Structure 1
Amino acid sequence: MKKKLTILSIVVFAGIITFISCKPDPSFEPKVEVPLTFNVPQGWPQPVYSFGNNKLTREGFELGRKLFYDGRLSRDNTISCGTCHQQFSGFAQIDHPVSHGIDDLLGPRNSPALFNLNWHPSFMWDGGINHIENQPVAPIQNPVEMDETLENVLTKLRNDATYRSMFKAAFGDETINTQRMSWAFAQFMGMMVSADSKYDKYKRGEAGGSMTTQELAGYEVYKQKCASCHKEPLFTDFSFRNNGLSVTSVNDSGRAHITQLTDDLYKFKMPSLRNLKYTWPYMHDGRFNSLDQVLNHYTTGIVQSATLDPSLKAGIALSSQEKEDLLLFLNTLNDEAFTKNPLFAEPK
């Protein structure tokens, strides 16, 4: 009897081993990654930048994401692009009127939100950068932002085995130079598309896009009184305009700083009206903390000057009801999914 039990135990044990060994080991299952693709949202114009000479790959994108969040691109290794462009605030810098850089130095302007960048013909509040691949160079070298030289940045990256491996995966070999760094940045930033707000779903006829009567009324107010500068679907025309702000002690000349033309004095790039819930404070110098303050400026606070945009000579007439409706419509332009998309989050 004892011998039979022993034999039975061996058979059962062998059966268990066979069953376990036949089960697939999840750690050996091949990981299939969906290729990264850039899609123009329905009804949108073609972008200015579409990766024509910079083939979009997951490896290039991941390299750009790592660079974006790496403080070693600054002089003291503490300030990254992500320091002043935080995902939860639409890649702006919440609660800071102007940018806070290295050594806690202050810049003269508010950190602009980063999204839908492939449609931008120029960058910065004054349009001083004319190509998305060149944009990251400016803050890296700016003495009150990251205050580092490109030579030092490249040295840091070349001395890092992980970066050498990532550059090889993205571009075929371990060569690390400014061109490849710029391409990687552009792949990451170019993919930062915000097009999934309630408004977007409404335009596409999707679930979650049902507008209330007041939101639709606000949409009409927008079309009558805001759309000439903040055009759908990007909610900006990328022009440079003097919107009647008083000149502060900083005396920021705006677009004129680049063109050296008096006709461009105090003109700044039109920001998008998307994601306003996350990107406060507002204006090029972050002087307004609320949208109520912004609307009050346009109704009663316009400062007359030689370069004031002609459409603002008499301000913008808005009744209390129109303001209320407009604010409700603007709220439909907030894309919460964009601010929480793990694709754009800091790599772990």
Structure 2
Amino acid sequence: MTLFFQRIKHIVWFYPLLILTSCSNDDQYTSIPENSTYAFEIPSNFPSLKQDISNNYPTKYGVELGRKLFYDARLSKDNTISCAFCHEQSSAFTHHGHDFSHGINNLLGTRNAPSIQNMAFQSEYFYDGASNSIEMLSIVPIHNPVEMDETLPGIAEKLKQDSEYLQLFGKAFKNKQISSANILKALAQFMTIMISADSKYDKYVRNETGGTLNSQELVGLNLFQNNCASCHATDIFTDNSFRNNGLLPNPNLNDLGREIVTGFSNDRYKFKVPSLRNVALTAPYMHDGRFGSLQSVLNFYSNNVQNTQNLDPLLQKHPTLGIPLNQIEKEAIIAFLKTLTDQKFITNPEFYHKT
């Protein structure tokens, strides 16, 4: 059985459970009186939410529980790998410096760890779109045999032995249960509040103090809008699409990308367009982490795009494949991309593990 179908088997198994819990929100998941609603606001320069959070709106204790779960290695089979192990706050919740992250027993994955930020504004998750639900996405790494290799019922049994978790689940959910559904809901609440929207660029577009771009950054913004924004769209900096960007397949992996999920050959070598928020902090780049710098990424787009199967049409509109850029233009784009770094996000104590 392939890894993808192992994933699907687990997702299908839990899906009816989550449908039931969503439909019975008034009976089971209405926040208890003292569990106040989290102060969740959409930044004025952001598009609308892509996820429906109405049945699992962030609450004080739901977020607290989700944060604790995110940093707890008991979510893995051998109690060594937490979500935070591969998603570090200082690197915008990526695994800085790792092309592939390590899982249990020091096993290596096959893709670079994507950032966790502005998740409720995205419609698909993972480079192949293995999940389209912020509540369901945690199943994928938890069940992946080279990542956490655990089951949700197995995690629940571990947590039931912990008096602090008994208290937290009791505060977060009206039914007070340490259950598969409540684990997923708490993690989703925590990820929902992980919003990055306070970079120099954000202050510029909102005309706020500290939002003055210098001449090179403004040139880079213009170049970005003309050459990159079709895919890295809106102020989330992704259009949530899957595209073939002309990157030759890694010969050791031959990762088929989106085709693994859909089964359609016309999705071969297509990967999700990643958000560029905090991109200066999230090296290495691409789905397999093959590029160690933003300069290398732009060198690829200007000189090394290959006519691979299903190459995106946007990379075929110039006389040569890719995006024609000289070195000065590349440096300007990189200067602009650095304005997307959000220091408040990577130091926000709401996202720390609180002991």
TM-score, normalization: structure 1? 0.89
Match of 1:75 among 58, 74, 77: 77
User: Residues 77-226 of structure 1 correspond to what in structure 2 (within 5 A)?
Assistant: 77-226=79-228
User: Residues 252-271 of structure 1 correspond to what in structure 2 (within 5 A)?
Assistant: 252-271=255-274
Please list the CA deviations of residues 43-83 of structure 1 after superposition, one character each: whole Å capped at 9, or x if unmatched. 22110225200132110000000000000111111100000
2:36·2:59 contact (CA, 8 Å) conserved in 1?
no
SS in 2 for 1:53: helix
Aligned-pair RMSD on alpha carbons? 1.4
- CA deviation after TM superposition for structure 1 residue 183, in Å: 1.1
Distance 1:34 1:201, change over 3 A: farther
2:58·2:192 contact (CA, 8 Å) conserved in 1?
no
- CA deviation after TM superposition for structure 1 residue 33, in Å: 11
Please list the CA deviations of residues 19-54 of structure 1 after superposition, one character each: whole Å capped at 9, or x if unmatched. xxxxxxxxxxxxx99962111101221102252001
Distance 1:332 1:34, change over 3 A: farther
In 1, Cα distance between the equivalents of 2:230 and 2:303? 19
Which stretch has the larger CA shift, 262-271 or 33-42?
A: 33-42
Please list the CA deviations of residues 287-330 of structure 1 after superposition, one character each: whole Å capped at 9, or x if unmatched. 00000100000011111122110111221000121111111111
Aligned partner of 2:232 in structure 1 is 230
Which stretch has the larger CA shift, 43-52 or 290-299?
A: 43-52
Runs of 4+ in 1 over 6 A off after TM superposition: none
Count of aligned residue pairs for this structure pair? 317
2:63·2:190 contact (CA, 8 Å) conserved in 1?
yes
User: Residues 21-100 of structure 1 correspond to what in structure 2 (within 5 A)?
Assistant: 36-100=38-102
Aligned partner of 2:276 in structure 1 is 273
- For the pair 1:322 / 2:322, whether they are aligned, the reply is no
In 2, Cα distance between the equivalents of 1:311 and 1:168? 51
- CA deviation after TM superposition for structure 1 residue 151, in Å: 2.0
Q: In structure 2, what residue type is equivalent to 1:105?
A: L
Q: In structure 2, what residue type is equivalent to 1:302?
A: V
Aligned partner of 2:7 in structure 1 is none
In 1, Cα distance between the equivalents of 2:348 and 2:100? 26
- For the pair 1:305 / 2:308, whether they are aligned, the reply is yes
Match of 1:239 among 241, 264, 272: 241
Q: Which has the larger radius of gyration?
A: 1
Aligned partner of 1:27 in structure 2 is none
Aligned partner of 1:251 in structure 2 is 254
2:221·2:333 contact (CA, 8 Å) conserved in 1?
yes
In 2, Cα distance between the equivalents of 1:268 and 1:168? 40
TM-score, normalization: structure 2? 0.87
In 2, Cα distance between the equivalents of 1:306 and 1:167? 49
In 2, Cα distance between the equivalents of 1:174 and 1:320? 58
Please list the CA deviations of residues 214-266 of structure 1 after superposition, one character each: whole Å capped at 9, or x if unmatched. 11011110011111111121111010000011111200000000111110000
- CA deviation after TM superposition for structure 1 residue 177, in Å: 1.0
2:103·2:146 contact (CA, 8 Å) conserved in 1?
yes
In 2, Cα distance between the equivalents of 1:34 and 1:156? 27
In 1, Cα distance between the equivalents of 2:51 and 2:66? 16
Unaligned runs of 5+ in 2: 1-33
In 2, Cα distance between the equivalents of 1:296 and 1:213? 22
Distance 1:167 1:330, change over 3 A: same
Aligned partner of 2:12 in structure 1 is none
